[in-house]
């Protein structure tokens, strides 16, 4: 598909406009550039109800710092840009932006490995190119251009001379905007009331009521207002949130009450507070750093609406009793897991045994003795005692029966009556018993079946998008076709996994066990082992047949 530059675009958000241009032209963003053709400046003062276009001389209207602050000047700019795909690069700056708390005096740290072809130009031409490039950087970062930039222009002139003298060998700090720093009478302060609520009790689980104040941000008070590089007037109504909560707020569980002096975070519902680097909210799922026991008081009230359910009040520090349903970020149980219990976590560790009627769900799981049903990504089990494991990767020290469904399986010692279904590999150190099944077949693995179904659903959605793109947006056709191709290749990779798979048993077998490889067309190669040592089992694809090595058992294609 041919790549064409767009016509001019009028935008307040250059980064978004360029990302859209790159996507439409199937070109990496770092290979795209733009020119600023025109900039419209809008102002708002204390006498204005809204922003208005301003074409006068700003310096004549606001001649000094006092007039800027007294009139509560605010600026916004809309840029008309022409995006393009870079061909020849005259200037490519390597830089770091340095922004202060209020962004009144931002600076650009220019690195000496920047690409500047200054020897092909006169100093005045290089200076003009640098000003143009700096304004593009400022505009991309919503910094006002063409105004309050005397320091930038002066420094760039000095830098141009510095450049031609061959002295640009260290980083150079260049001011971008001459703002007005506010004077702080009292700094902003954040109070996490929910943490102080149970400070004396030293509880790790903090339960809150509906409409309860969780946190309070006391806004800074200014002895003197300010004006920053984003065109913002800094006064009591301004808050940059520098000391405020930086984590995204879950608006479904927390609402904010705000005035010129403070901001209150209140709970919409009853539950447990969650505050981490990803979210600040109130959840009906118990998520903790560490869990060794649950206090019975958590489950006494029926209207808690939290996903921690304890059906008996004698749950001890080192066990999860019968009938417990627990969801947490990390669960560590020192004792045994009772019947009819359900545990769900990102990281799960059970030092005792799981009951045969229990279920566990995790991203990563470590279990000492497993009799229940486990579904996870990565599983490590010391002893499998008739339990079921569904995972991507499984490592087990010893097995006394049970069933495993996974892509890759590693086992130390297998006795009898174990069934292993894998798609990529089965590796066992010792098989000392009989009546074990070691089978390669992706169709027996629920995780892979679900993945194939989801991939097919994605393909069908993309096919609909493809038909729509052919009618309305031809520029997207190739990208969608490539995505469909990748998804189809991923399905074929899963379906042909038996051709790559390997079953390895390091030590001699002691008796009769079954080795099975199932092909994508459901044909099977089955071998009953004898009491002897075998080299790894794998499939050898030939022109007219497939052979199970090393036992030379074949089927015709």
- Counts for the chain of helices (H) and strands (E), in that order: 8, 37
- Look at the pTM and tell me if it is higher than 0.75: no
Range of the domain at 83: 1-87
Please tell me the predicted confidence (pLDDT) of residue 274: 82
Q: Is residue 331 part of a domain?
A: no
What is the pLDDT, as a whole number, of residue 321? 63
135 shares its domain with 167: yes
Residue 243 sits in the same domain as residue 254:
yes
Residues 6+ apart with CB under 8 A from 199: none
> Looking at the structure, do residues 159 and 243 belong to the same domain, yes or no?
no
pLDDT in tens, 356-408: 999 999 999 999 999 999 999 999 999 999 999 999 999 999 999 999 999 99
Is 369 inside a domain boundary?
A: no
Examine the pLDDT at 316 and tell me if it is beyond 60. no
What pLDDT is recorded for position 306? 39
Regarding whether 177 and 261 lie in a shared domain, the answer is: no
Q: Which of 144-148, 241-245, 255-259, 550-554 has the lowest mean pLDDT?
A: 241-245
| 114-125: average pLDDT | 90
State how many domains the chain has.
3
Using omega within 30 degrees of 0 as the cis cutoff, is the peptide bond preceding 550 cis? yes
**Rounded to the nearest 5°, which phi and psi values hold at 216?**
-140, 130
Q: Are residues 46 and 96 in the same domain?
A: no
Q: Is residue 537 part of a domain?
A: no
Highest mean pLDDT among 187-196, 303-312, 407-416: 407-416
Quick check: 190 and 237 in contact, CB under 8 A? no
Q: 198-220 burial by CB neighbour count: b if 16+ within 10 A, else e?
A: eeeeeeebbbbeeebebbbbbbb
Does residue 211 come out as left (phi exceeding 0), alpha (psi in the -120 to 50 range) or beta? left
| 82 plus 40 within the same structural domain | yes
Pairwise CA distance, residues 63 & 61, whole Å: 6
Give 64-93 pLDDT, tens digit per residue. 889 999 899 999 999 999 999 887 778 889
Contact 440, 518 (CB under 8 A): yes
Side by side, the strands of the sheet bearing 271-275 are 207-208, 271-275, 280-283
Q: Of 40, 67, 87, which residue sits at a domain end?
A: 87
Rounded to whole angstroms, how far apart are CA atoms 351 and 368?
Answer: 5
CA-CA-CA-CA torsion sign (242, 243, 248, 250) = negative
Going by the DSSP 8-state scheme, the letter that residue 517 receives in this structure is E
Q: Region 126-131: what's the mean pLDDT?
A: 94
Q: Between residues 473 and 316, which one has the greater pLDDT?
A: 473
Identify the pLDDT of residue 218. Answer: 86
| Cα–Cα nearest to 228, from 103, 138, 116 | 103
Domain shared by 196 and 266, yes or no:
yes
Query: Residue 300: what pLDDT?
Result: 34
pLDDT score at 284: 66
Q: HEC states along 111-146?
A: CCCCEECHHHCCHHHHHHHHHHHHHHHHHHCCCCCC
Nearest residue to 35 via CA among 133, 119, 101:
133
Are 75 and 139 part of one and the same domain? Answer: no
| Residue 133, domain member (yes or no) | yes
In a domain, 122, yes or no: yes
Tell me if 431 sits within 8 A of 510, measured CB to CB: yes
- Same domain (yes/no): 52, 106: no
Instruction: Report H helices in 328-375.
Output: none
Q: Supply the pLDDT for residue 25.
A: 87
Same domain, 118 and 163: yes
Q: What angle is formed at CA 125 by the lines to CA 144 and CA 41, rounded to 5 degrees?
A: 20
Neighbours of 34 (CB within 10 A): 23
Run of H or E residues at 361: strand 359-370
Q: Which residue has the higher pLDDT, 302 or 223?
A: 223
Instruction: Find the mean pLDDT for residues 311-340.
Output: 63
Distance CA 335, CA 353 (A): 7
- How much is the pLDDT for 241? 60
- 365 touches 380 (CB < 8 A): yes
The enclosing H or E element of 404 equals: strand 402-414
Using one digit for the tens of pLDDT, what is the confidence trace for 414-457? 999 999 999 999 999 999 999 999 999 999 998 898 889 999 99
Total residue length of the chain: 557
Q: How many CA atoms lie within 13 A of 219 on its CB side?
A: 17
**Mean pLDDT across 285-291:** 43
DSSP states of 308-372: EE-SSS---TT-B-TT-EEEEEEEEESS-B-TT-EEEEEEEEEEEEB-TT-EEEEEEEEEEEE-S
d(CA 68, CA 74): 9
Q: Per-residue pLDDT tens for 348-358?
A: 888 888 999 99
CB 531 within 8 A of CB 509: yes
Six-digit token pair at 159? 């830098």
Which tokens belong to 325?
């349903």
The answer to whether 424 and 369 are in contact (CB under 8 A) is no
pLDDT of residue 258: 87
Mean pLDDT value across the chain: 85
Residues 6+ apart with CB under 8 A from 229: 103, 104, 105, 106, 138, 143, 144, 148, 176, 177, 179
Q: Is residue 486 part of a domain?
A: no
Q: Indicate if 192 and 270 belong to the same structural domain.
A: yes
Lowest-pLDDT range of 253-262, 414-423, 480-489: 253-262
Residue 312: its pLDDT value, please?
A: 30
In a domain, 145, yes or no: yes
Residue 428: the pLDDT is 96
Angle, CA 11 vertex, CA 98 and CA 233 arms, to 5°: 50
The domain boundary residue, chosen from 49, 64, 87: 87
pLDDT above 90 coverage of the chain, percent? 56
Please report the pLDDT score of residue 62 as a whole number: 87
Residue 443 belongs to a domain? no
Q: Mind listing the pLDDT tens digit for each residue in 137-171?
A: 999 999 999 999 999 999 999 999 999 999 999 99
For tokens 């130390």, name the residue.
412
Is 314's pLDDT higher than 60? no
pLDDT at 6: 57
- Count of other CB atoms within 10 angstroms of residue 453: 10
Same domain, 102 and 70: no
What is the rounded average pLDDT of the residues 475-497? 92
């Amino acid at each position: 598909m041919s790549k064409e530059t767009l016509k001019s675009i009028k935008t307040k958000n250059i980064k978004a406009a360029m990302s859209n241009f790159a996507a439409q032209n199937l070109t990496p963003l770092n290979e795209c550039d733009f020119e600023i053709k025109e900039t419209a400046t809008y102002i708002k003062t204390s006498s204005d109800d809204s922003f208005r276009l301003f074409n006068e001389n700003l310096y004549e209207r606001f001649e000094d710092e006092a007039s800027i602050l007294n009139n509560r000047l605010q600026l916004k700019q809309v840029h008309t840009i022409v995006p393009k795909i870079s061909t020849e690069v005259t200037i490519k700056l390597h830089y770091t932006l340095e922004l202060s708390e209020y962004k009144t005096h931002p600076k650009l740290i220019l690195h000496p490995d920047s690409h500047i072809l200054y020897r092909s130009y006169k100093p005045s031409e290089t200076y003009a190119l640098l000003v143009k490039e700096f304004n593009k950087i400022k505009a991309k970062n919503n910094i006002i251009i063409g105004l309050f930039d005397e320091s930038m222009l002066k420094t760039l002139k000095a830098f141009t001379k510095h450049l031609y003298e061959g002295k640009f060998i260290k980083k150079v700090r260049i001011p971008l905007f001459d703002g007005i720093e506010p004077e702080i009478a009292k700094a902003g302060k954040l109070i996490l009331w929910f943490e102080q609520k149970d400070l004396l009790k030293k509880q790790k689980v903090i339960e809150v009521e509906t409409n309860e104040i969780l946190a309070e941000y006391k806004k800074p008070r200014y002895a003197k207002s300010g004006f920053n590089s984003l065109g913002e007037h800094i006064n009591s109504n301004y808050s940059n949130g520098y000391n405020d909560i930086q984590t995204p707020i879950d608006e479904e569980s927390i609402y904010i009450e705000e005035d010129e002096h403070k901001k209150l975070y209140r709970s919409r519902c009853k539950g447990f507070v969650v505050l981490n680097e990803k979210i600040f909210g109130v959840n009906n799922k118990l998520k903790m750093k560490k869990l060794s026991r649950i206090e019975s008081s958590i489950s006494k009230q029926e209207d808690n609406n939290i996903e921690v359910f304890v059906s008996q009040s004698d749950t001890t520090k080192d066990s999860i009793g019968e009938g417990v349903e627990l969801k947490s970020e990390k669960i560590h149980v020192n004792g045994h897991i009772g019947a009819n219990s359900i545990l769900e976590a990102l990281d799960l560790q059970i030092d005792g045994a799981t009951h045969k009627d229990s279920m566990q769900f995790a991203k990563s799981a470590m279990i000492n003795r497993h009799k229940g049903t486990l579904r996870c990504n990565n599983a490590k089990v010391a002893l499998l005692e008739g339990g079921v494991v569904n995972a991507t990767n499984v490592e087990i020290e010893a097995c006394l029966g049970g069933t495993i469904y996974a892509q890759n399986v590693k086992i130390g010692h297998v006795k009898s009556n174990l069934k292993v279904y894998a798609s990529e590999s089965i590796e066992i150190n010792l098989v000392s018993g009989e009546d074990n099944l070691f089978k390669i077949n992706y169709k027996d693995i629920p995780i892979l079946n679900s993945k194939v179904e989801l991939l097919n659903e994605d393909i069908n959605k993309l096919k609909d998008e493809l038909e729509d793109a052919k009618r309305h947006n031809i520029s997207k056709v190739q990208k969608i076709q490539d995505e469909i191709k990748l998804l189809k290749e991923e399905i074929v990779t899963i379906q042909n996994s038996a051709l790559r798979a390997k079953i390895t048993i390091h030590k001699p077998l002691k008796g009769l066990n079954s080795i099975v490889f199932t092909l994508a067309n459901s044909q099977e190669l089955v071998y009953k082992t004898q009491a002897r040592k075998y080299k790894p089992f794998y499939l050898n694809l030939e022109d007219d047949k497939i052979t199970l090595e090393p036992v030379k058992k074949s089927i015709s294609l």
